[in-house]
Amino acid sequence: MFIRRCLVRNCPYAARALQTSAEAQSRPRRALLYMPGDDMKKIRKAAQLDLDLAVLDCEDAVAVSRKSLARSTITTALNTLQFGRTERGVRTNSVSSGLIADDLAAILRNEIQPDVIMVPKLDTVEEARTLNMLVAQSSDTPVKVIFQTESAIGLLNLGSILEYLVTASHIIPVAVVFGADDYVSDIQASRDIEAVVYARQKVVAYARAYNLQPIDRVHIEFRELEALRAESKSGFGMGFAGKQCIHPTQVPIIQESFRPTPEQVEYAQQLIRSFNDSQSKGKGAFTFRDKMIDRPTLLQAQNVVNMFSDLD
């Protein structure tokens, strides 16, 4: 892992990388809800939800002719609305769009900055370098960034992009979002879950390797709530930390799905106690509820307990 290599070599970025790791893991981002940046009514509604992350969108949800209106509406919302516990995010346009410099200037020079910015369609290390330069032009301090992987080339370059971002001077990466709809269009596939298994697994593996949060695809059939619940639980089981959503009714289902159940927490806590007892007696592997337990299983149990503590 890059962070471990940095520590071994006394890399000057090691402390920053570890800080990023701790922050990314500690703040829940289970439901990531988009709302159009040019619609103050919808933004006000999002501010009143019990929501982990509200993303005010300058990109896909806003027509090209209304980009300027979206920027001014978003800055007004940041300056005037109270979001409570909800993390405030703004999605810019992509680096390749030619619009992101204006987005960043408006958002990062605003009286109140968002908690995090989200950058779509980050496909190459060169685009990541450009992003860092543009952020530096609008902010004196590093900015937390969530970025989206939405193409075949972006997925292939994901490791190199992440390795650059964790050393970038003005970016603190905290999460990686899988943009499934653009991805399946790019690879000329259907939107069936089978078509994106490889991509979803790769996003999880790379994000977790760099101690960032992987965020799963949108469930676009927003009225099919039981299907949403099943897909959310599946994503949680794959290692995703959260899921994108497009309608407020999806939020409670996603946030309930991306947390361990009371039964899982109780099982994990008892397993840890039994492991500690076994260690005190000088034993290695041991049996717990008819299962052979060793250190990897202990680490899984600790993940469950830690996740429960973060959300409690």
Q: Phi first, then psi: what are they for 217, rounded to 5°?
A: -70, 165
- Decide the pairing of beta strands 286-288 and 291-293: antiparallel
Helix (H), strand (E) at residue 15? helix 14-26
Measured between alpha carbons, how far is residue 89 from residues 53, 161, 216 in Å?
A: 7, 21, 17
Query: CB of 204 within 8 A of CB of 214?
Result: yes
Question: What pLDDT is recorded for position 1?
Answer: 46
Please measure the distance between the N-terminal and C-terminal CA atoms of the chain and give it in whole angstroms.
30
Question: What pLDDT is recorded for position 191?
Answer: 86
Q: Which residue ranges of the chain lie beneath pLDDT 70?
A: 1-26, 307-310, 312
**What crossing angle do the helices spanning 67-80 and 40-47 adopt, rounded to 10°?**
30
Among candidate residues 102, 294, 310, 312, the one labeled active-site is 294
Q: Encode pLDDT of 225-282 as tens digits.
A: 999 999 999 999 999 999 999 999 999 999 999 987 777 778 878 888 888 887 777 7
Question: What pLDDT is recorded for position 7?
Answer: 40
Average pLDDT of the chain? 89
| Phi-psi map region of 33: left, alpha, beta (phi>0 left; psi -120 to 50 alpha) | beta
Reply yes or no on whether 181 is catalytic: no
Question: What pLDDT is recorded for position 17?
Answer: 55
Measured between alpha carbons, how far is residue 116 from residues 2, 56, 126, 205 in Å?
A: 23, 11, 21, 22
- Tokens representing 8 are 């071994």
Q: Phi first, then psi: what are they for 260, rounded to 5°?
A: -70, 150
- Tokens representing 259 are 């947390």
